[in-house]
Copies of this chain bind each other. A is one copy, B any other.
Amino acid sequence: MTLFKRLIPRVEALRLIEEHIKPIGRTETLPIEEAYGRVLAKNIISPMDVPPFDRAAMDGYAVRAEDTYGASTHSPRRLKIIGVQGVGELHEAEIGSGECIQVSTGSPLPRGCDAVVMREYAEAHGEYIEIYSPVYPGANISKRGEDIRRGETVVEAGVQLTPARIGAIAAIGIERVEVYEKPRVAIIATGSEVKPPGSRLKPGEIYDINSYTLSAIVSSHGGIPIRIGIIPDDVEALEKAIGEAVEGCDLIVLSGGSSVGTADLLKGVVEKLGHVIFHGLQIKPGKPTLFALIEGKPLLGMPGYPTSCLSNAYLFLIPALRRMAHLPPYRPRTMKARLSRRVVASTGREQVLTVRLIDGEAHPVFKESGAITSMSEADGYTLIPIGVDVLEEGEEVEVYLFEDI
């Protein structure tokens, strides 16, 4: 019989997990087009200035600013157009006094000029322009290095690569980046009665659910799910599977053990192979949860019941995995909603109440720990603290949303 010496509150369990989970040290080098969402392992230092040259910030005419001083509609300044500066190459001419070169946004600034007159403030007459408004030196010019200076840190290590950060790395010509490897997460389902979807069930058998829900959770929070398979209730088979997982993975997630027999079996194997940090959570559903270290590798033993397994994955596996993957902490989107009906809570344990949101109202959908539809029909969950016996109809609760991607 499984004895829980002391049920651990959720917050303490999270603290213990955090204490024993180490962020991955291994890195890999990827082309920037494959690095989106990954976490940078080294500072990116710019080898160049951006823009790499002084350039026109507007379409118009590159001039010597002093040639435009005093210009007005009544008294325009007249300059000779000595050429057209394209983008992508530098015009050979140098602007002298009384001269200008036509430029486009982004084109390098020709030699000899120090400002750009916007097209709107000039009028071309043959090979001359008339300028109606003066410009100061530097007007409508992006200076070399104005955006990024050579030697500057463009993106810092430890930061997740967003589209804009990848853009900044491309801007300085870097095509490959060193990022942290994704944690490899072994997923082991247990239970002699559990069979893979697609197979034919014999009486008393059920389909494996947890391997699939856990894999999805793992891939969406920065890990690589490695499905070890379904292991029957057999000590040797379990030891072998865990051994394999420890060998090739960074984190092991076991599901199973809703029945006392299986739970005892698992706990026995884990105790033999490693060191149990906690077993038994003060939470409902999700009590029979185990956290252990095996040869230094963290192992999360989840309840076998699919709803308990999945709600525990949201509460404990995601934080563990994100920490391991160097990702920022998980902040599920939340919203306030009023309960559609009275809820009698379980005493003595914090409760995860799954709800469906209809017109801003939270409708409890929890059936029982065994029911996967308690989760699949829910939009999110609310947590009922220990010591709260009843939530009244219309009471406002904080709903943590199961986010779409």
Instruction: List A residues at the B interface (Cβ < 8 Å).
Output: 1, 32-33, 36-37, 50-53, 55, 57, 59, 86-90, 104-108, 119, 142, 146-148, 154-155, 160-175, 191-193, 196-199, 201-217, 219-220, 227, 258-262, 304-306, 310, 313, 327-328, 333, 367-368, 370-373, 375-376, 378, 402, 404-405
Contacts and interface: CB of A to CB of B under 8 A. Distances in A.
Given A88-B191, A90-B203, A164 B198 contact: no
13 contacts: A50-B372, A57-B368, A89-B202, A106-B258, A106-B370, A108-B203, A146-B367, A147-B373, A160-B405, A161-B216, A171-B206, A172-B197, A328-B404
B306 A193 contact: no
Contact of A162 (B55, B146, B204, B404): B404
- The interface residues of chain A, by DSSP majority, are classed as loop
B173 A198 contact: yes
Contacts of A217: 163
A113 B99 CA distance: 103
Contact of A59 (B197, B204, B260): B260
Nearest to A192: B88
Given A104-B261, A106-B370, A161-B216, 8 more contacts: A33-B215, A36-B216, A36-B220, A87-B192, A88-B191, A104-B259, A163-B216, A168-B209
A278 to B, nearest CB: 21
A160 B210 CA distance: 19
Contact of A175 (B196, B260, B368): B196
B106 A367 contact: no
Given A173-B201, A207-B173, A260-B105, A168 B404 contact: no
With most chain B CB atoms within 10 A of its CB, the pick from A33, A119, A198, A405 is A405
A205 B90 CA distance: 9
B304 A106 contact: yes
A175 B193 contact: no
